[in-house]
Amino acid sequence: MSSQPLLSTMRAEPIRQVPYVNLPAQFAEEREQLLPLVEHALAAGDHVGGEAVALLEKEVADMCGVRHVVALNSGTDALMFALVALGIRAGDEVITPPNSFIASTSAIVHVGAIPVFADVGPDQNIDPAAIERAITSRTKAIMPVHLTGRVCEMDAISDIARRHGLRIVEDAAQSIGSTYHGRMSGALGDIGCFSLHPLKNLNAAGDGGLLATNDDGVAERVMRLRNHGMSDRNTVVEFGFVSRLDTMQAAILRLRLSRLADVVARRRRNAALYRDLLDRRHVFFPGERGDTVDTYHTFVVQVDHRDALKTWLADQGIGTAVHYPVPIHLQPAAARFGYRIGDFPVTEAQAARILTLPVNQFATPEDIAYVARQVNRFFERTRI
Ligand SMILES: Cc1ncc(COP(=O)(O)O)c(C=O)c1O
């Protein structure tokens, strides 16, 4: 599909509501299958860590091709426990990008380690060359973030980790089901961490997270950490946490896991439409690489006049978001690490230009075409 016919129809058209997310539509689609699962869990009085949790863990482990998956309260806990289980502690440095959701860095800070940022590339993912430059004698781990559901350059990152003796904790919060050279995100480092937050492609009806690993010791430690550090009912091996997944959530998640491939296919269809329809003279988005499957947790474009475009799209009935307008190194909470404006020029330039368009599985091809037309119309009108 060429963008030319589209550009020649740049006239006003009736407003169409295209929400950024549509959780009520998800419930409507699955209501008949989902409600009996919830009823079953409630009727059985099975609330925490029941059979559904173990089944979910096994199913995700099989999907990812790893030995263990441990279900937790959140993706943030998964990241934190991953660092604890790898022995990362006070004074150690962990390299991560400054353009993630705050949780990647919070997890590092909460184990007492020091987040060391490395800038990103045009595709918003951490730049392997910047990782290499950020390594010091205190560096212990790299935490790449597969932002938007697009896997980082893991071959280069794994090579750096091998050469410098570093561990890799993948922040795969946004990338469940994404692949890289035929392998699943979350299975490409020492530990992979997924978020099951309601806005993720595989979502709980609340918070949840998963930790994936091939390391038996790590899995055993994390299973203990999530349950007060107990090895059995009466033995506390170490002081732990409460980070168990509810049985009801696991039952819902198993249903949704069985549909994940369909969710991803619909999101990829929407992304492909954007690729065809958006006017690339004004709108930048990274290309797909042949050797990956991107799952489009988000579809992020980079544009001039971002805020004006966002307002324009809202006026046309279109919901958008910005992931993330303030880089982590410039957040007040990070002041103590001493970073300044200008330290990560690519991240900072992108923060002013990024806009997340609706790509959710409930947006129809007509919705996506409408959004693309309105984006293109904005740039036609402003005659940039
Ligand atoms: C990149 C990234 N890392 C970590 C998290 C934290 O996950 P959660 O909200 O499940 O704690 C999220 C999502 O919220 C995320 O998008």
Which of 241, 257, 273 marks a domain boundary? 257
Same domain, 90 and 199: yes
CA 173 to chain centre: 4
pLDDT single digits (tens) 194-242: 999 999 999 999 999 999 999 999 999 999 999 999 999 999 999 999 9
Give yes or no for residue 101 CB within 6 A of ligand 1: yes
Which of 257, 288, 307 marks a domain boundary? 257
CA 21 to chain centre: 15
**CB-based contact 121:94 (threshold 8 Å):** no
pLDDT below 50 — which residues of the chain?
1-9
Give yes or no for residue 125 CB within 6 A of ligand 1: no
Q: Interior CA angle at 43 toward 39 and 45, to 5°?
A: 120
Same domain, 44 and 116: yes
Q: What is the CATH number of the domain that holds 312?
A: 3.90.1150.10
Of 90, 161, 101, 104, the C-alpha closest to 131 is 161
Q: Interior CA angle at 286 toward 124 and 22, to 5°?
A: 80
Of 319, 339, 358, the C-alpha closest to 115 is 339
Q: How far is the C-alpha of 245 from the C-alpha of 355, rounded, in Å?
A: 33
Same domain, 314 and 225: no
Structural domains in the chain (count): 2
Straight-line distance from the first to the last Cα atom of the chain, in angstroms, rounded to the nearest whole number: 24
Same domain, 243 and 271: no
Same domain, 193 and 311: no
pLDDT single digits (tens) 240-255: 999 999 999 999 999 9
- Residue range of the domain that includes 359: 4-14+259-382
Q: Whose CA is closest to atom 8 on ligand 1?
A: 75
Q: Which atom of ligand 1 is nearest to the CA of 200?
A: 13
Of 134, 211, 132, 206, the C-alpha closest to 172 is 211
Q: What is the pLDDT of residue 12?
A: 79
Please return the burial class of 5, using the count of CB atoms within 10 Å of its CB with bins 0-12, 13-18 and 19+: exposed
- Rg of the chain over Cα atoms, rounded to whole angstroms, equals 21
Same domain, 199 and 263: no
Q: Whose CA is closest to atom 7 on ligand 1?
A: 75
Give yes or no for residue 173 CB within 6 A of ligand 1: yes
Q: Which two tokens stand for residue 363?
A: 């947006």
Q: Which two tokens stand for residue 64?
A: 């990812």
Which of 225, 257, 289 marks a domain boundary? 257
Q: What is the pLDDT of residue 381?
A: 86
Amino acid identity of residue 303, one-letter, is: V
Q: How many CB atoms lie within 10 A of CB 105?
A: 26
Q: How far is the C-alpha of 90 from the C-alpha of 300, rounded, in Å?
A: 35
SS3 assignment, position 341? coil
Q: Which two tokens stand for residue 331?
A: 């957040």
Q: Which atom of ligand 1 is nearest to the CA of 196?
A: 10
SS3 assignment, position 183? strand
Same domain, 229 and 267: no
Instruction: Compute, in angstroms, the gap from residue 173 CA to the centroid of ligand 1.
Output: 5
Same domain, 253 and 267: no
Give yes or no for residue 103 CB within 6 A of ligand 1: yes
In a domain, 20, yes or no: no
**CB-based contact 213:67 (threshold 8 Å):** yes
Same domain, 102 and 138: yes
Cα torsion 327, 138, 219, 153: sign: positive
Beta-bridge partners for 183: 180
Q: Which atom of ligand 1 is nearest to the CA of 78?
A: 11
**CB-based contact 128:155 (threshold 8 Å):** no
